[in-house]
């Protein structure tokens, strides 16, 4: 816990910005490039270990250089096999795995309409909410973590979805069959900033250190079933006993088979009092930062 808290304090006291000469370059990155950038500059710096694994099949690889373009900025992760699953159910490659314990996925933007975008369309552009791909990967990754680490105190496993300007955190507890989704969190202070927002910093810190900070589901959520176990009953033994990490043949379609994802996903207020207090501190920091900028 002390090391995790130190990582948070050190990150806040250091530079929160990505060193892009032109902030507009940030929005020219592909979804995968942005996710790698977030892993290298945010997630890796907030986790107790900065190691992460990037799908070796991704496009736009730059060797050990970070996608930010700074010559001195080196990736703390490496490229490798990120495949998970089983040929009889969902299987495929995760884009990034943080410290072997957290899946991170980019979300592709839907195509823009030729007539331009309304304010509502802009807000929905990242398509993060109830995203079937993130839901599928969160469920499979949760079962996989339970199989690999059966002695853990709880099996509420998160997955981070990264859009072009915001992120969400999805959770699945494979023991209690509960699927939870956070509200969207802005990645940066504003659309023209390369500075990570305080809310994204706190959300990511809590998530990458979930093994230390997460105490599992509160009692009131244990009855909020996703019904995945019912929908996947014919193949549930595969999810519980036969999922693999790496060396999974992914020649077949990356679709969640024999499963109908529940239409309602509960937002998650899973924070104990210390975490709520930290969030209030971060909000006050963010408010004072905005006030200072306005006065200047």
Q: Is the residue at 131 inside a domain?
A: yes
- Is residue 20, in this structure, part of any structural domain at all? no
Would residue 174 count as lying in a domain? yes
Whole-angstrom distance, CA of residue 32 vs CA of residue 208: 19
Q: What's the confidence (pLDDT) of residue 257?
A: 41
Binned at pLDDT 50, 70 and 90, residue 280 comes out as: low
Greatest Cα pair distance, the chain, in angstroms, is: 63
Strands 78-80, 52-55: parallel, antiparallel or unpaired by DSSP? parallel
Q: List the one residue out of 47, 52, 50 whose CA is nearest residue 3.
A: 47
Q: Would residue 221 count as lying in a domain?
A: yes
Paired residues of 251 in beta bridges = none
Predicted pLDDT of residue 29: 86
Share of residues in the chain with pLDDT > 90 (%): 53
Mean local confidence (pLDDT), 90-100: 93
Note the pLDDT of residue 119: 43
Number of compact structural domains in the chain: 1
> Does residue 75 belong to any structural domain of this protein?
no
Mean pLDDT of the 174-180 span: 95
Pairing between strand 266-267 and 91-93?
A: unpaired
The residue segments making up the domain with residue 184 are 81-109+125-290
State the pLDDT at residue 103. Answer: 94
Query: Does 218 reside within a domain?
Result: yes
Is 276 a domain residue? yes
- pTM > 0.75: yes
Q: How confident is the prediction for the chain on average, in pLDDT? A: 81
Is residue 234 situated within a structural domain? yes
What values do phi and psi take at 196, rounded to 5? -65, 140
């Amino acid at each position: 816990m002390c090391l995790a808290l130190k990582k948070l304090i050190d990150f806040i006291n250091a530079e929160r910005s990505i060193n892009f000469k032109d902030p507009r370059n940030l929005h020219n990155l592909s979804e995968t490039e942005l996710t790698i950038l977030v892993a290298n500059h945010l997630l890796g710096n907030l986790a107790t270990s900065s190691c992460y694994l990037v799908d070796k099949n991704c496009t736009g690889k730059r060797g050990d250089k970070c996608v930010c373009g700074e010559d001195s900025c080196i990736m703390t992760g490496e490229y490798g096999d990120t495949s998970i699953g089983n040929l009889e159910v969902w299987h495929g490659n995760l884009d990034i795995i943080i410290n072997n314990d957290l899946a991170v996925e980019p979300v592709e933007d839907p195509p823009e309409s030729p007539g331009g975008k309304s304010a509502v369309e802009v807000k929905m552009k990242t398509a993060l909410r109830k995203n079937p791909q993130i839901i599928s990967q969160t469920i499979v990754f949760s079962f996989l973590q339970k199989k690999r680490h059966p002695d853990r105190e709880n099996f509420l496993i998160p997955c981070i979805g990264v859009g072009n300007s915001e992120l969400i955190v999805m959770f699945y507890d494979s023991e209690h069959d509960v699927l939870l989704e956070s509200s969207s969190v802005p990645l940066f202070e504003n659309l023209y900033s390369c500075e990570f927002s305080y809310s994204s910093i706190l959300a990511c810190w809590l998530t990458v250190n979930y093994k230390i900070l997460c105490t599992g589901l509160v009692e009131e959520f244990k009855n909020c079933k996703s019904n995945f176990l019912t929908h996947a009953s014919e193949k549930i033994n595969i999810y519980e006993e036969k999922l693999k990490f790496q060396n999974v043949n992914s020649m077949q379609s990356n679709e969640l088979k024999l499963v109908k994802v529940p239409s309602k996903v509960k937002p998650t207020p899973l924070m104990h009092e210390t975490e709520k207090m930290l969030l209030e501190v971060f909000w006050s920091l963010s408010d004072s930062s905005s006030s200072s900028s306005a006065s200047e």
